């Protein structure tokens, strides 16, 4: 499973608010789990390329989960630490 956190830190207030949550939760995870999460910043060339690859149209911040190259979950909107952690646990329990 691969999880993408789609953000735009430059123009999205909720993305800026989500940044410390995202970074702290990722930092608290084991290295194997950390490799399963990719931050896709839409302001970077790499992020724009990933946006095209994911066929992402909008609704940021957004968490997208892929299994074997197929999207299995998409959830836009800000999440605090508890809600984001609960979402990751649910995704790993269901798809990993």
* Per-residue pLDDT, 57: 93
pLDDT tens, residue by residue, 16-42: 999 999 999 999 999 999 999 999 999
Q: Is the pLDDT of residue 51 over 90?
A: yes
Q: Is the pLDDT of residue 96 over 90?
A: no
Q: What domains sit in the chain, N to C, each tagged with a CATH number?
A: 2-95 (3.40.30.10)
Please give the torsion angle defined by the CA atoms of residues 65, 70, 74 and 80, in that order, rounded to the nearest 10 degrees. Answer: 0
Q: Which helix (H) or strand (E) holds 74?
A: strand 70-76
Q: pTM score, two decimals?
A: 0.95
pLDDT tens, residue by residue, 1-20: 999 999 999 999 999 999 99
Q: Is the pLDDT of residue 66 over 90?
A: yes
């Amino acid at each position: 499973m691969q999880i993408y956190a789609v953000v735009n830190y430059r123009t999205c207030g909720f993305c800026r608010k989500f940044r410390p949550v995202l970074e702290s939760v990722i930092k608290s995870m084991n290295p194997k789990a950390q490799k399963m999460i990719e931050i896709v910043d839409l302001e970077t060339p790499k992020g724009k390329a990933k946006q095209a690859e994911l066929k992402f149209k909008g609704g940021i911040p957004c968490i997208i989960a892929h299994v074997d190259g197929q999207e299995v979950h998409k959830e836009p909107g800000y999440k605090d630490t508890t809600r984001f952690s609960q979402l990751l646990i649910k995704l790993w329990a269901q798809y990993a």
